[in-house]
């Protein structure tokens, strides 16, 4: 480490991501956060662990992006830890989740409302503590969540959800409006807390990848890769080079599939049903190729610790090569239609705008961040193999509105198609998987992957028996949901579905 601010973080983590880990005290916890901010770094995640069996109470963890890679710092704690939400607004909900799940609260935080509990377990019970007994944790039903109210002549509230008309997961949106103009939006998520993090603790390293791939189904490749990267780091193993290239192939196919689907729905929300029909056709054909090549339309269980579950056969290789050319031709034609359609552009331009300054302050990430001039794409800055050889062309825009997010999606599809052709042309020969070595002692692993929505982090701790002691998967939606609240301000209520779909954030990835 070259920065004196981080001289006590001297332990490099094994694995594909450039990462370091270290332990700090309460003062250093704040000092590190402040130092990262001053040097242009970013907060990636905050989570906690129950280390009482080690005789050291609880542990708080934070991951930051800095010039040299990623920092994973740990703070041994008892009942509180220093608040970071004044430095990083995105820390607010992460800290509240730690309080709900572990019972360790942010000292000095202004917002201490429960975030995930929803009265689903007693107030003084905490699901991530090792002595938590689900059989005794009878829901108390007491919630009384204090939404922030907006008062004034003509102001009224519109509550939407948590149950929606579609098949999406539950989330509550409380609009404060004057006429149809939105003055404020407040979200409430976490209605289907699934216990994923606790479930990991009952699994081996090899079993955990199937659960990781189901944290958020539309990002199964990114989560499975990040988990496998963490498991391989903990096991001190290197995967075959062909497996790394096949993982990138799957990741770019996942990116294209999601952008195709979202561009269709965004067009439909703005009144262009033709766009939905055409993009749905393209996505369906794309998913069928996935199933033919890897056995699953959404590529679930394709990536496993040690490499890939199966290899790419010649017929699938040929079909993907032809498909990339055909899809590019259609996507370019559809982009011209979207760009020239006056009705669409009237709905898109200046709708749901997030200024670059606000995006930087709030930590907006992923495609939404790049549409607001946040030049961050893990594939380009800290690309693991094979991205370190592919020269990824990062797509950015400055306007930060629906139009910008649509433009970024179109251009990312075209860049992913270029990457897919390159991967197919240069795919190395060799094995697609190596057996995982036995892990017989406690350790740490970290996975860090740029999914289609943004960067996904998986932090892994193994116990003395080599099994999973703690696994925290972090979705970029944690950073981006609060920005949706800001993006809708000043717009009319009927524009919310369009703005929401242009972000398309994950409920499931936010609600473990």
The tens place of each residue's pLDDT in the chain, 512 residues long, gives 334 344 445 567 777 778 889 899 999 999 999 999 999 999 999 999 999 888 779 999 999 999 889 999 999 988 999 999 999 999 999 999 999 999 999 999 999 999 998 888 888 899 999 999 888 777 877 778 899 988 899 999 999 988 887 778 899 999 999 999 999 999 999 998 889 999 999 999 999 999 999 999 999 999 999 999 999 999 999 999 999 999 999 999 999 999 999 999 999 999 999 999 999 999 999 999 999 999 999 999 999 999 999 999 999 999 999 999 999 999 999 999 999 999 999 999 999 999 999 999 999 999 999 999 999 999 999 989 999 999 999 999 999 999 999 999 999 999 999 999 999 999 999 999 999 998 878 889 999 999 999 999 999 999 988 899 999 999 999 999 999 999 999 999 999 999 999 999 999 998 98
Kindly state the helix (H) or strand (E) to which residue 327 belongs, with its residue range.
helix 314-340
19-23 vs 155-160, strand pairing mode = unpaired
> Whose CA is closest to 447, among 70, 46, 165?
70
pLDDT of residue 54: 80
187 backbone dihedrals φ, ψ, rounded to 5°: -100, 155
Q: Count of alpha carbons within 13 Å of 300, Cβ hemisphere only?
A: 12
Complete domains list, the chain, with CATH: 4-107 (3.30.460.80), 198-510 (1.10.645.10)
Residue 79: both structure tokens together: 């009942």
> Reduced to 3 states, what is the DSSP secondary structure of residue 197?
helix
Return d(Cα 412, Cα 273) in angstroms, integer. Answer: 23
Q: Helix (H, G, I), strand (E, B), or coil: what is residue 20?
A: strand
**Buried b or exposed e, range 150-183, using 16+ CB within 10 angstroms:** beeeeeeeeeebbeeeeeebebbbbbbbeeeebe
pLDDT of residue 11: 64
CA 430 to chain centre: 32
Report the pLDDT value the prediction gives residue 167, as an integer from 0 to 100: 75
CA neighbours closer than 13 Å in the CB half-sphere of residue 449: 31
Do the beta carbons of residue 257 and residue 287 sit within 8 Å? yes
Name, in order, each residue with C-beta under 8 angstroms of 357's C-beta and a sequence gap of 6 or more.
Answer: none
Other CB atoms within 10 A of residue 135 CB:
5
Quote the distance between the C-alpha of residue 3 and its chain's center.
28
Picking from 242, 253, 254, 250, the residue whose alpha carbon sits closest to that of residue 427 is 242
Cis peptide before 386 (omega within 30 of 0): yes
CA proximity to 439, closest of 202, 237, 200, 235: 235
Say what the pLDDT of residue 119 is: 87
pLDDT at residue 1, as a whole number: 34
Model pLDDT for residues 255-277, shown as the tens digit of each residue: 999 999 999 999 999 999 999 99
If we measure between CA atoms, which residue out of 367, 368, 349 comes closest to residue 358?
Answer: 368
**Closest to 122 (Cα-Cα) out of 112, 107, 109, 132:** 132
The pair of three-digit structure tokens given for residue 92, joined into one six-digit string = 């607010």
Summarize pLDDT for 78-102 with one digit per residue, the tens: 899 999 999 999 999 999 999 999 9
């Amino acid at each position: 480490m070259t920065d004196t601010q981080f001289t006590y973080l001297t332990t490099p983590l094994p694995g594909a991501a450039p990462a370091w880990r270290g332990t700090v005290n309460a003062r250093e916890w704040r000092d590190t956060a402040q130092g990262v901010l001053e040097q242009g770094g970013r907060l990636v995640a905050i989570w906690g662990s129950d280390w009482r069996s080690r005789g050291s109470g609880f542990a708080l963890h934070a991951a930051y992006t800095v010039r040299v890679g990623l920092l994973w710092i740990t703070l041994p704690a008892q009942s509180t830890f220093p608040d970071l939400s004044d430095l990083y607004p995105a820390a607010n909900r992460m800290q509240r989740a730690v309080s709900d799940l572990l019972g360790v609260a942010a000292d000095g935080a202004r917002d201490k409302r429960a975030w995930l509990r929803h009265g689903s377990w007693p107030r003084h019970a905490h699901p991530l503590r090792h002595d938590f007994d689900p059989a005794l944790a009878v829901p108390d039903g007491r919630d009384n969540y204090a939404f922030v109210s907006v008062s004034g002549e003509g102001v009224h509230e519109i509550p939407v959800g948590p149950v929606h008309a579609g098949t999406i997961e539950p989330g509550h949106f409380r609009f404060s409006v004057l006429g149809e103009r939105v003055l404020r939006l407040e979200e409430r998520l976490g209605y289907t807390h699934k216990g994923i993090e606790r479930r990991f603790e009952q699994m081996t390293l090899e079993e955990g990848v199937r659960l990781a791939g189901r944290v958020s189904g539309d990002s199964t490749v990114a989560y499975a890769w990040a988990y496998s990267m963490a498991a391989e780091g903990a096991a001190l193993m290197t995967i075959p080079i062909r497996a790394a290239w096949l993982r990138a192939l799957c990741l770019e196919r996942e990116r294209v599939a999601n952008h195709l689907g979202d561009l269709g729905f965004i067009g439909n929300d703005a009144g262009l049903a033709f766009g939905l029909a055409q993009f749905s056709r393209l996505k369906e054909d794309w998913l069928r190729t996935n199933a033919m090549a890897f056995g699953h339309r959404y590529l679930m269980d394709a990536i496993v610790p040690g490499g890939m579950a199966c290899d790419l056969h010649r017929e699938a290789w040929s079909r993907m090569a032809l498909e990339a050319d055909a899809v590019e031709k259609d996507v370019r034609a559809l982009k011209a239609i979207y760009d020239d359609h006056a009705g669409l552009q009237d709905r898109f331009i200046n709708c749901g705008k997030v200024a670059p300054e606000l995006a930087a302050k709030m930590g907006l990430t992923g495609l939404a961040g790049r549409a607001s001039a946040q030049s961050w794409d893990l594939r380009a800055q800290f690309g693991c193999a094979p991205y370190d050889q592919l020269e990824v062309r990062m797509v950015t825009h400055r306007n930060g509105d629906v139009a910008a997010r649509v433009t970024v999606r179109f251009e990312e599809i075209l860049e992913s198609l270029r990457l897919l052709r390159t991967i197919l042309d240069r795919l190395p020969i060799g094995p697609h998987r190596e057996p995982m070595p036995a892990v017989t002692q406690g350790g740490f692993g970290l996975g860090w992957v740029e999914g289609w929505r943004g960067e996904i982090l998986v932090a892994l701790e193994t116990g003395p028996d080599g099994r999973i002691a703690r696994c925290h998967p972090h979705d970029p939606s944690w950073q981006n949901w609060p920005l949706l609240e800001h993006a809708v301000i000043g717009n009319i209520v009927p524009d919310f579905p369009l703005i929401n779909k242009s972000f398309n954030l994950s409920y499931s990835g936010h609600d473990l």
